[in-house]
Amino acid sequence: MQNSPLQWFPGHMQKAKRLITENLSLVDLVIELLDARIPVSSQNPMLQEIINDKPRLIVLNKADLAANVENSLKIFRDNNFPTVAVDSVNGSGIKNLIAQAKSLAKPKTNKFSKHGAKPRSARAMIVGIPNVGKSSLINRLAGVNHTKIQNKPGITRAKQWIKIADGLDLLDMPGILWPKFDDPEVALKLSWTYAISDEIHDLEPTVCKLLETLAEKFPAGLIERYKIEISTNGHELLNQIGLKRGCIKKGGLLDTDKALHLILSEFRAGKLGKVFLD
C-alpha cells in the first residue's frame, strides 16, 4: 500500500525532504510538477521552504484533462512564478518547458562561460506529489521509456543524469513530495485525481461528492457521456449512471462498487470532459 496518509507519517516526510535536499545541491533549478486540474491542491505545502532560493519552474501537467489552463498560467505568472503547461503523454508544451528551464538556469550556467567557453548544461530535477506524472514527464523529455510508469501512486525509483536537449540535463530521480492531507476538501480532490490511493478511503462519499461537483461545474460532460438527468444529489447521480451502464447485481439492484470504479476510472481518463476543481 503506497501513498496512504499512513505512509506519510512525519518520519517519511522528513526522509522525502532529505532526499530532495541532498539532490538540490546538484541542480540549477527545480521543476515543480502540478496537476493542471488542481494546481493549488497538488502543491506540497513545504516545497518553498525545502528549495529555498533555488530557481523554480512550475509545470502544470495533464493540461489535456484540464479546463481554465490559460487562466491558471496567468495567475501563477502574475505572481512571478515562471509557469508552463504540458501534456506529458502526448508531448504538447514540452519544447517550451525545455526553453524555460534553460533560461531560468542561465545566471548559473553563464558563470561557466567566461573567457568565451561554452556554457555548461543546465541541470534540473523534477519534484511533485504521487501520480502527478513525474515518470511520464521524465520519459517524454528523455524520449525513451526507461522510467517505470504505472497509474498507481508511489512507484518511482531510479537515479542518473539524462541528457534532454542541447544544454539541459535532468536528474533521473524525481523528488516525491507528500500531498496535503490535512484539509478534507483538498484530500477529496487528491483522491479524485488519484494522488491519494483508493484503498485508504471510502469510495462512495468520495465519488458522490465528485458527481455533485461535476454536476454543478461541468454538467455537459456528465450529460454527454451518460445521458442522465442532472441532479444536485450525488447518490441519485450514482444510481442513474450505474443503471445506465449496466452496473446491476442479481435482482436488479445497483452494483455500487462496480459503478464507483467505473465513474472514477472514466473521470481520471478524461472521459467526462476537461475540468478545473480548485
Ligand X SMILES: Nc1nc2c(ncn2[C@@H]2O[C@H](COP(=O)(O)OP(=O)(O)OP(=O)(O)O)[C@@H](O)[C@H]2O)c(=O)[nH]1
Cβ nearer to Mg ion, comparing 172 with 212: 172
Binding residue (CB under 6 A) for ligand X from 5, 154, 219, 273: 154
Three-state DSSP class for residue 235? helix
Beta-bridge partners for 73: none
Which entry of ligand X, Mg ion, none binds 133, CB below 5 to 8 A by partner kind?
ligand X
User: Does residue 266 touch ligand X according to CB under 6 A?
Assistant: no
- Asked whether 201 and 66 are in contact (CB, 8 A), the reply is no
Which runs of consecutive H residues, i.e. helices, occur in the chain? Answer: 10-24, 47-51, 69-78, 94-109, 134-142, 184-192, 203-217, 219-226, 234-244, 256-268
As measured in angstroms, the least distance from the Cβ of 9 to ligand X is: 18
Site for ligand X in 1-60 (CB under 6 A): none
Binding residue (CB under 6 A) for ligand X from 88, 109, 121, 197: 88
Which entry of Mg ion, ligand X, none binds 136, CB below 5 to 8 A by partner kind?
ligand X
Binding residue (CB under 5 A) for Mg ion from 3, 135, 139, 191: 135
Binding residue (CB under 6 A) for ligand X from 60, 132, 168, 190: 132
Binding residue (CB under 6 A) for ligand X from 14, 21, 113, 151: 151
Which entry of Mg ion, ligand X, none binds 62, CB below 5 to 8 A by partner kind?
ligand X
194-204 per-residue burial string, b: 16 or more CB within 10 A, e: under 16? bbbbbeeeebe
What is the Cα–Cα distance from 12 to 74, expressed in whole angstroms?
Answer: 34
User: Does residue 167 touch ligand X according to CB under 6 A?
Assistant: no
Radius of gyration of the chain, Cα coordinates, nearest whole angstrom = 20
CA 188, 190, 194, 196 torsion: positive or negative?
A: negative
User: Does residue 153 touch ligand X according to CB under 6 A?
Assistant: yes
Backbone dihedral region for residue 33 (phi beyond 0: left; psi -120 to 50: alpha; all else: beta) = beta
- Scanning 40-48, 112-120, 133-141, 231-239 for contacts with Mg ion by CB under 5 A, the matching segment is 133-141
What is the Cα–Cα distance from 14 to 8, expressed in whole angstroms?
Answer: 9
Binding residue (CB under 6 A) for ligand X from 24, 75, 142, 149: 149
Tell me which residue has cell 545566471: 107
Which entry of ligand X, Mg ion, none binds 64, CB below 5 to 8 A by partner kind?
ligand X
As measured in angstroms, the least distance from the Cβ of 138 to ligand X is: 8
- Asked whether 86 and 60 are in contact (CB, 8 A), the reply is yes
Chain residues that interact with ligand X, rule: CB under 6 A: 61-62, 64-65, 87-89, 128, 130-136, 149-151, 153-156, 176, 270
Chain residues that interact with Mg ion, rule: CB under 5 A: 134-135, 156
